[in-house]
């Protein structure tokens, strides 16, 4: 590990000042410490932000507000989140291990960097880590890589389960800096690699995630998250589906659907949603909608199975969430 300086910020002003000088923020450390140990990241300065007042979970007429320092475990176990936003609670419960969820913050979770083995191996070519060096996954071992949202520069999948739920629910993210606060839609916060794979978020130097806002809606209570993976625990998704439906009188009035494990960012599925709205909540509808889940997919040499897996995962979760109650 390379030398670095470490400090603790007791106030938001102190943290933002350190960030403006180029310091990296750390909370749970479950991602950054790993990357530093592997020398993927070598920040010269780190500031601990755990003393900042970003730990509230609150509910209002407009929806749910979650402080960026709320631990994943605490949000997943919150009774009102479980009741009113089950897709978010389930996505968190299916993430990582209990030990990691106890440490990891919500802000840190959505800032996770790729789990691509070539990104984590500093001897391999990786455009995310070193732009212009190439993408080893394109011609290498790519069974777990993206079939959606990739480019000739990068095909690494986004690792966060919670982010899939946030994108499905039209969440927004508040960013703090010395210049004030600005809000970015979760769907715009995660950048596809394109020709600039090293740019993963639209954050400006020194900015800090402070709050996640999840709107209220008739669909949030009837929601859920399905994660398909190689083993049942502590594994990243091969495909996942976040589904939220508003069903009245047996007819789907609103639909929110997103996928994970198959794309370079949490992947919203508008084509699926369009098929659902106005249709009866029945098996034929689920099948017709799921058939559109992999629109635009481009398989690599080893991950073509994800196309059918994604369709089946979406259909299954539509049926589970849409079951008549």
Q: What digits encode the pLDDT tens for the residues 122-133?
A: 999 999 999 999
Please state whether beta strands 57-60 and 172-177 pair in parallel, antiparallel, or not at all (unpaired).
unpaired
Report the pLDDT averaged over residues 265-289: 98
- Taking alpha carbons only, the member of 178, 189, 181, 163 closest to residue 260 is 163
Residue 1 has pLDDT above 80, yes or no: no
Rounded Cα–Cα distance for residues 67 and 50 (Å): 12
Average pLDDT value for the chain: 97
**Rounded-to-integer distance, Cα 13 and Cα 67, Å:** 17
Nearest partner of 159 among 136, 128, 130, 133, judged by Cα:
128
The DSSP letter of residue 62 is T
**DSSP conformational letter for 137:** G
Would you identify the CATH topology of the domain 223-322? Answer: Enolase-like; domain 1 (3.30.390)
Q: Which of 210, 255, 254 is nearest to 106 (CA)?
A: 210
Domain ranges of the chain: 1-51, 223-322
Which residues lie below 8 Å from residue 315, measured CB to CB, with a gap of 6+? 286, 287, 289, 290, 293
Which residues, including other chains, have CB under 8 Å from residue 71's CB and lie 6 or more apart? Answer: 28, 101, 102, 103, 104, 105, 106
If residue 227 lies in a helix (H) or strand (E), which one and from where to where? strand 223-228
Q: How far apart are CA 129 and CA 132, in angstroms?
A: 9
pLDDT exceeds 90 at position 173: yes
Average pLDDT on 221-235 reads: 95
pLDDT value at residue 156: 98
Burial profile 299-324: b = 16 or more Cβ within 10 angstroms, e = fewer: ebeebeebbebbbbbbbbbbbebbee
Each residue's pLDDT tens digit, 175-202: 999 999 999 999 999 999 999 999 999 9
How far is Cα 159 from Cα 146, in angstroms, rounded to an integer? 11
Q: What is the pLDDT of residue 324?
A: 58
Give domain 1-51's CATH architecture.
Answer: 2-Layer Sandwich (3.30)
């Amino acid at each position: 590990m390379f030398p670095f300086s470490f400090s603790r910020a007791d106030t938001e002003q102190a943290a933002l000042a350190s960030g403006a000088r180029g310091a990296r923020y750390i909370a749970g450390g479950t991602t950054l410490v790993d990357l530093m140990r592997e020398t993927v990241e070598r920040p010269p300065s780190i500031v601990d932000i755990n003393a900042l007042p970003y730990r509230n979970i609150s509910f209002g007429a407009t929806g749910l507000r979650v402080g960026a320092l709320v631990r994943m475990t605490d949000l997943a176990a919150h009774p009102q989140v479980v009741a009113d936003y089950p897709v978010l609670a389930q996505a968190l419960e299916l993430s990582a291990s209990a030990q990691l969820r106890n440490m990891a913050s919500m802000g840190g979770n959505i800032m996770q960097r790729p789990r691509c083995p070539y990104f984590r191996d500093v001897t391999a070519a990786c455009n995310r880590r070193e732009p212009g060096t190439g993408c080893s996954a394109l011609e290498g071992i790519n069974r777990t890589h993206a079939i959606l949202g990739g480019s000739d520069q990068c095909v690494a999948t986004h690792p966060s389960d919670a982010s899939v739920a946030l994108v499905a629910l039209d969440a927004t993210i508040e960013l703090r800096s010395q210049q004030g606060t600005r809000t970015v839609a979760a769907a715009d916060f995660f950048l596809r690699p394109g020709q600039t794979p090293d740019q993963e978020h639209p954050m400006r130097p020194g900015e800090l995630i402070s709050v996640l806002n999840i709107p209220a809606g008739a669909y949030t209570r009837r929601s859920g998250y399905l994660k398909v993976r190689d083993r049942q625990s502590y594994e990243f998704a091969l495909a996942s589906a976040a589904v939220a439906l508003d069903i009245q009188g047996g007819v789907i009035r609103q639909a929110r659907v997103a996928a994970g494990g198959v794309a370079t960012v949490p992947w919203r599925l508008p084509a699926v949603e369009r098929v659902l709205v106005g249709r009866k909540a029945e098996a034929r509808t689920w099948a017709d909608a799921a058939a559109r889940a992999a629109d635009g997919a481009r398989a690599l040499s080893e991950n073509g199975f994800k196309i059918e897996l994604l369709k089946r995962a979406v259909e299954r979760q539509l049926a589970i969430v849409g079951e008549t109650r």
